[in-house]
Chains A and B, each alone.
Chain A
C-alpha cells in the first residue's frame, strides 16, 4: 500500500444500521490506497471484523452519541483508531474476580490479568502507566470441551479484535476524558 497523506476520518453516530455503510467506505479507502499490490483478501476480512467490533462496541458500551473512526497507512502498517468521550473501558479481572475500570487510580497496582478464556485461548491485558492497556492472547492446552460455553459474554468482540490484528491497544486520556482504541495490522507480514 502507498503512503496516503489524507487520513481516513469518519464520524460514526453510534447507529447500528450505519455500520455496513461505514465498512464499505473503509474498504474503498483501503482498496484506493493499495497501489500496485492489492491487499490480501484475508487481511481485508480481518479489517472488516475489527471495524465491525469497534463500532458495535461504540453502539453497545460507550454511551457516546458519536465516535471518530480514523484509518491510516504508515510504515507498512494499517492503523485503525476509534475515539470517543463516552464511558471509559471497564474489564473483568477473572484472575482476581474484580472489575477494573478506567481511569485507574495511582494507588492501584495492576499490571497484567486475564479477562476471559474459552479453554483454548486466554484473553489477557497488560497495563502500562495506568492508562495504556495492551490486549493479547495466550494459547492454552487444548481441552475436549472448550470453556467457550461457560461465558457467552461481551468478550467475543475483544477476542476477535485481539486475534485478528497484530496489536490492539486501549488508551485513556485523563485530561480530556477521551477513550481511544488503536488496532494495527502489519501489511508485510
Chain B
C-alpha cells in the first residue's frame, strides 16, 4: 500500500507513505490513485508530507492519474511538498497542471469557501 486514505464526503485525502517516491512505488501509486477515482471521489488531495525525493517514474504516474481524472471531472490537488520536491515539479512545469497547496487544511478551505 502506497497511500493512506481518509474519506471526507466525496473528497479523499491520500497521504503517500514511502519517503522515496520512485520507480519502485510508481506502478502501485498509479493503481491506487485510479482505484480511488474509479470509486467515485470528486477530489483527491495527495499529501507528500513523507516524501523526501521523487523521480521521473513517479511523476509519470502522477500525470497518468491526472489524465484519468480529468475526463471524469475529478480534481487532484497536491499538498505538503518539501521544497526539493516542489522545485522538481516546477522544473518540468508540473506546477502548471496541478493545484498545489501548503497542506490539507489550506486545500480543504478552498472547497469549503
Contacts and interface: CB of A to CB of B under 8 A. Distances in A.
Contact of A146 (B22, B23, B88, B96): B96
A146 B97 contact: yes
Contacts of A146: 93, 96-97
Contact of A59 (B23, B53, B60, B96): B23
A153 B22 contact: no
Nearest to B65: A152
Contacts of B88: 45, 49, 160
A118 interface: yes
A49 B54 CA distance: 8
A159 interface: yes
Interface residues of B, number: 24
A45 B22 contact: no
A119 B96 CA distance: 11
Contacts of B53: 23, 48, 52
B35 interface: no
Nearest to A161: B56
B20 A160 contact: no
Nearest to B52: A20
Given A16-B22, A60-B57, A157-B56, A152 B96 contact: no
Contact of A149 (B24, B57, B59, B70): B70
The number of chain A residues touching the other chain, given as a range, is 20 to 34
B57 A121 contact: no
A153 to B, nearest CB: 7
Interface in B44-67: 53, 55-57, 59-60, 63-64, 66-67
Contacts of A154: 56, 60
Contact of B24 (A17, A23, A45): A17
Given A56-B56, A146-B97, A157-B56, A118 B92 contact: yes
Contact of A60 (B23, B63, B66, B87): B23
Given A16-B22, A152-B60, A163 B55 contact: no
Contacts of A56: 22-23, 55-57
Contacts of B31: none
A166 interface: no
A149 B56 contact: no
A163 B70 contact: no
Contact of A16 (B23, B94, B96): B23
A23 B84 CA distance: 15
B91 interface: yes
25 contacts: A19-B20, A19-B22, A20-B20, A23-B53, A49-B88, A56-B22, A56-B55, A56-B57, A60-B23, A118-B93, A119-B93, A120-B96, A121-B92, A146-B93, A146-B96, A148-B93, A148-B96, A148-B97, A149-B66, A152-B63, A152-B67, A156-B56, A159-B56, A160-B91, A164-B91
